[in-house]
A and B are shown apart, each in its own frame.
Chain A
Amino acid sequence: MAVRHSDTLPLGQRPPLLRLSHVDKVFSGDVVALKDMNLTVNQGDFISLLGPSGCGKSTALRIISDLMHPTRGKVEWEGDHGRGDLGVVFQEPTLMPWATVAQNVWLPFRLAGKSYAEVKDDVLEVLRLVGLEKFLNSYPRELSGGMKMRVSIARAIVTNPRLILMDEPFAALDEITRHKLNNDLLELKAKIGCTVIFVTHSVFESVFLSDRIVVMAARPGRVMAELKVDTPYPRGEDFRTSPEYAAHAREASAALKEAMGEPA
């Protein structure tokens, strides 16, 4: 099997993967996008960054993906970190419209100088994982919004990245598709055991998906609280209706309200 599977250890026993220490980002001299962010990402974590717009969630992702350098502070990876160790899913599917589904998923390998024949099995396997193996030769415009997002996820996991960054990936989708993709994302996580940082402004999404919720506040963007959702994976439909889920959602809502400066 080309796609690596790693088991996820329980919270508290996971080896560290990435450490952000005292990270500040200041734009044009006076706009503080991120203030003193400290975060340790462990192998197998599913972390949600939850917060209102302007809280620096996307800035944090851009710093982690090295698209932007912190004004102060450090980003340290455990061990070697190179190309293909990071998978990214944006809010838009961000597919190349002129390329087929298979060619889009091939992209990370293609940029690393690998021919399609060399990595064909990996491409087919991730497309099977997201349920799109029949759409190999389709062009993005022939797919629905949810299917495009699946291609985008397939592309992000095809290189076996150490960390997957997802920047509000389902925010633009309708509720039904979003619901389904949330379920499928957890199923995928159970299958390959990936580490994910997931940016969202939905309390429910963050509780359902993640085992760590980092609540952030805006102006300046900063971390306010971290909550743990210790319900073990796999989490299915019954989790959504459980009292546990409701309790976590209440807790996260309260933390978010506080972060936004409203009385809890």
Chain B
Amino acid sequence: MSLAENSPARATATPETVDADEARRQRAARIERIAKWTLPVIIMALSIFGWGWVVTANEIPHYILPGPDRVWASLTGDWGMLIEAAYLTGWITLLALILAVIGGAGLAILFNQSKMLELSFYPYAVILQVTPVVSIAPLIFIYVDSKVAGMLLCAWIVAFFPVLSSTTLGLNSVDHNLRDLFRIYGATRWQKLRYLQLPSALPYFLGGLKIAGGLSLIGAVVAELVAGTGGIGSGLAFRIQEAGYRLNIARMFAALAMVAAMGVFIFAALSILSHLLLRKWHESALTREH
């Protein structure tokens, strides 16, 4: 049995085979590759410049709107305080995300294994999710003494649901024929979960994880705003609030920039993780040539 005739063909482009269409396509791809990075940078430079110009031209006082130079000065000048705050917020976010993964994926597996459990508790998971965390947070801090535990609980409530719902979807999205095949070969419930359902659910889980990453940061920030972080040091959200009371608008912007940077960092880190785990087999990690 020879396979040459039905192995996937991979055309190699030699200079002679590049016609006008192909050259145009390559040029367009090259331009897009460069533009993908340069355009956002240019837009950012322009807006910072525009912002600075508006502030100087209209002589806006810095306690209303500071120029980019002042925000930069605050960012570098208060760096020690800000990085400490970022460390605290980041720590809460990370812990909440880890708990969201354990709780969300664990519940999804439990629900998947027992229909009765799912029927009993899924509605409450939904209720917990749709009730705004801002409105639950004050109550939480009445009953939970430890600030850290309270903050974690707030962040967890917002972050676990996307992990739960996407993992549940993934565990149920097993190829029907594969499921039959496992039955025919007499797979145990555990084998089915381990070798079939969990790998099938992985792409869904990672999708939920990306959302949960952003949400746990939101949860941590909200919890800080509600609780204040007196006693355990101050997080970024607390710094923003505090700077607002002092009319130190530049520092508000600086802290806000750090929160945004943290969100971007979490998203990027989870995207890389997802790519690494799926690149070998999943369609989403496939790079098409045309």
Interface residues of A (CB under 8 A from B): 62, 65-67, 82-84, 86, 88, 90, 92, 94, 96-99, 107-108, 110-112, 130-132, 139-147, 176-177, 180, 184, 187
In the complex, the answer to whether B184 meets A146 with C-beta atoms within 8 Å is no
Complex Cα spacing A177 to B5, Å: 9
Partner of A131 from the list B2, B186, B191 (CB cut-off 8 Å) is B2
B260-290 contacts to A (CB < 8 Å): 280-283, 286
Closest A residue, CB atoms, query B198: A98
Complex Cα spacing A26 to B116, Å: 29
- As a 0/1 sequence over residues 147 to 185 of chain B, the CB contacts with chain A under 8 angstroms (1 = contact) are 000000000000000000000000000010110111111
Partner of A111 from the list B5, B182, B283 (CB cut-off 8 Å) is B182
Complex Cα spacing A142 to B282, Å: 11
Known contacts: A107-B185, A141-B281. The answer to whether A90 contacts B177 by CB under 8 A is yes
**Additional pairs, 12, CB under 8 Å, beyond known A62-B180, A82-B186:** A84-B185, A88-B181, A90-B180, A90-B181, A96-B195, A108-B185, A111-B182, A111-B195, A112-B185, A131-B2, A141-B286, A146-B6
Complex Cα spacing A153 to B196, Å: 19
Residues of A within 8 A of B1 (CB): 130-131, 184, 187
Q: Count CB-based A-B contacts (< 8 Å).
A: 78
Complex Cα spacing A92 to B178, Å: 10
In the complex, the answer to whether A65 meets B184 with C-beta atoms within 8 Å is yes
CB of A122 to closest CB in B, whole Å: 15
In the complex, the answer to whether B6 meets A66 with C-beta atoms within 8 Å is no
CB of B187 to closest CB in A, whole Å: 5
In the complex, the answer to whether B7 meets A144 with C-beta atoms within 8 Å is yes
Q: Is B199 an interface residue (CB 8 A)?
A: yes
Known contacts: A90-B177, A94-B175, A96-B178. The answer to whether A180 contacts B5 by CB under 8 A is yes
Partner of A140 from the list B3, B6, B7, B281 (CB cut-off 8 Å) is B281
Q: Is B8 an interface residue (CB 8 A)?
A: yes
Partner of B281 from the list A65, A92, A98, A177 (CB cut-off 8 Å) is A98
Complex Cα spacing A3 to B184, Å: 20
In the complex, the answer to whether B181 meets A94 with C-beta atoms within 8 Å is yes
Residues of B within 8 A of A88 (CB): 180-181, 184
Complex Cα spacing A142 to B8, Å: 8
CB of B219 to closest CB in A, whole Å: 32
CB of B6 to closest CB in A, whole Å: 4
Partner of B184 from the list A86, A140, A144, A180 (CB cut-off 8 Å) is A86
In the complex, the answer to whether B8 meets A66 with C-beta atoms within 8 Å is no
Residue of B1, B181, B199, B202 with most partner-chain A CB within 10 A: B181
Complex Cα spacing A65 to B180, Å: 9
Partner of A110 from the list B6, B7, B195 (CB cut-off 8 Å) is B195
Residues of B within 8 A of A82 (CB): 186
In the complex, the answer to whether A97 meets B5 with C-beta atoms within 8 Å is no
Residues of A within 8 A of B283 (CB): 141
Residues of B within 8 A of A132 (CB): 3
Complex Cα spacing A5 to B105, Å: 47
Residues of A within 8 A of B282 (CB): 97-98
Complex Cα spacing A184 to B2, Å: 10
Residues of B within 8 A of A184 (CB): 1
Partner of B6 from the list A90, A142, A180 (CB cut-off 8 Å) is A180
B193-228 contacts to A (CB < 8 Å): 195-196, 199, 202
Complex Cα spacing A187 to B1, Å: 9
